[in-house]
Amino acid sequence: MMKQDRLAHCIGHIDGKYIEEAESYQKTNKRIWRVWGSVVACLCLLVVGAYTAFHPSPLDEAGNRILQWSPQFSAEDYFQYSDGENGGPLDFFSIAEAHYPYTESRSFSHKRQQLEAEKVLPVMAEHPLFDCTVNYLADGSLYSLTFSWHNQEQEYSDLRITAGYQEVEMMEDCVVFVDEDENGHRIAPAVTVTKRDGVNIVAEGSENTKKTITFQNSSGWYQIEGSWNDRYADMVDLLDWFWAHPIDFDRFPVEAGEVITDL
Amino acid sequence: MEDHKIIELFWLRDEDAIHQSSQKYGRYCKSIALRILANAESSDECVNDTWLKAWNAIPPQHPSILRTFFGAITRNLSLNRVRDLSCEKRGGGQVVLVLDELTECMPNRSSPESILEDREITASIERWLETLAKEKRVVFICRYWHCDRVSDIASRMGWTESKTNSLLQRLRVSLKNHLELEGIL
């Protein structure tokens, strides 16, 4: 085997999680994009806006586009129109990976046990790896925070929730990615919208793909992300948790976080 | 069909495993082969060979991520085909460029090439990848796993080609230093 072939061969056998990561990675300013207004109040509105742009009437002729939540609602129900059969895939918008105007980030990863004990976070014993990063604006106020749980062993999992309470500012860069067909026509995104306690919950993704659940309630806006290998139920467990345990953002003052050193 | 069911079919030696794999991941594998070979016919052959390789590998293997498991087989088969056919022109010379770039990281050596050694090298590369910021890791994988063009990576990341080339250069140096540090080189 030639020498360079050997290294290429070895790279070819690296763990699939790296390939998965590279394939699902996306920046915010790529592909075809549309600016949704000059200023949009928050991402949740943005996502719902994307939905309503393609479905001017929240209840279409079939009358089942916006689902009504009930206690019997299953995890699969949240994603029942998100499988792509009802439209093209929406190119996922990840708040966590977007470039927003925060100026400082601090880590609270070391406080996992405390946050679990105080029921800020669910106990997720099957996810040994945990990260909590909080982002602050120049005035020191909290802009967004991200909790992420990983399991990189046999049952790969990468769950994350990003949340905040302030209006998402400087939305000039806030874009929604849409697919276009060969004639340049937009393909409606495949999303499922569920109304729960008066709040619209937008779900995207399906089995074997990245998945997101986005919503805004009185406590703030939230986006839950799951990897291709995470189940609908994993996502909805997090949704239910933060529905019942809204984040108290005052728990994360900048001075309490650990300074993050750049790798 | 869900992945675990496809894997079960492989374990049961049910040939439907190949049909289901092809149906679910055929396009994905072909996209990988096409990037390397830039030839539809050869790509189809590599994808077909992928199922055979998988058939021979499962069991005993039990892939945790079936999609990338198939993808890795297709990639390596495609690279082998480029080498065997000496078809440098295929893929716009991209594969040759990628392989040449990697030479910087691993110069020739005389020690015996064994599967064990290769596993050590792969593990070392994974440890190095873990030290990188996500964005850099993605760029490295795009270039050296997927054999993407630098211009395509730059476009995807929203960078200039110059910046992308510069980062790739630094990554190669970093990988080489890491391999030296771990005694691979």
pLDDT tens for A207-237 read: 777 788 988 888 888 999 988 888 999 999 9
**Nearest residue to A95 via CA among A32, A175, A205, A37:** A175
B63 part of contact set with chain A, CB < 8 Å: yes
Q: Which residue in chain A has the smallest CA separation from B115?
A: A10
Cα end-to-end span (Å), chain B: 44
Q: What confidence score (pLDDT) does residue B115 get?
A: 64
Mutate to test the interface with B, among A1, A5, A17, A19 (most CBs of B within 10 A): A19
User: Which H/E stretch holds residue B49?
Assistant: helix B40-57
3-state secondary structure of A195: strand
> Residue holding tokens 């067909």?
A181
A43 Cα to chain B: minimum distance (Å): 22
Cα separation values, B49 from A30, A259, B37, B57, B95, Å = 34, 50, 14, 12, 20
Q: Which residue in chain A has the smallest CA separation from B156?
A: A30
**Positive or negative CA dihedral for A31, A32, A38, A43?**
negative
- Under the banding of pLDDT at 50, 70 and 90, the label for residue A128 is confident
ipTM of the complex: 0.81
Contact residues on chain B for A156, CB-CB shorter than 8 A = 64-65
Q: What confidence score (pLDDT) does residue A31 get?
A: 32
B157 part of contact set with chain A, CB < 8 Å: yes
User: Which H/E stretch holds residue B177?
Assistant: helix B161-181
A25 Cα to chain B: minimum distance (Å): 7
Cβ pair A30:B142 closer than 8 A: no
Q: List the single residue in B122, B125, B137 with the smallest CB-CB distance to A21.
A: B137
Cβ pair B141:A4 closer than 8 A: no
Q: List the single residue in B63, B76, B126 with the smallest CB-CB distance to A9.
A: B76
Tell whether the model's pLDDT for residue A261 goes beyond 70. no
A32-41, A164-173, A209-218: range with highest mean pLDDT? A209-218
User: Which residues of chain B fall below pLDDT 50?
Assistant: 87-92, 108-110
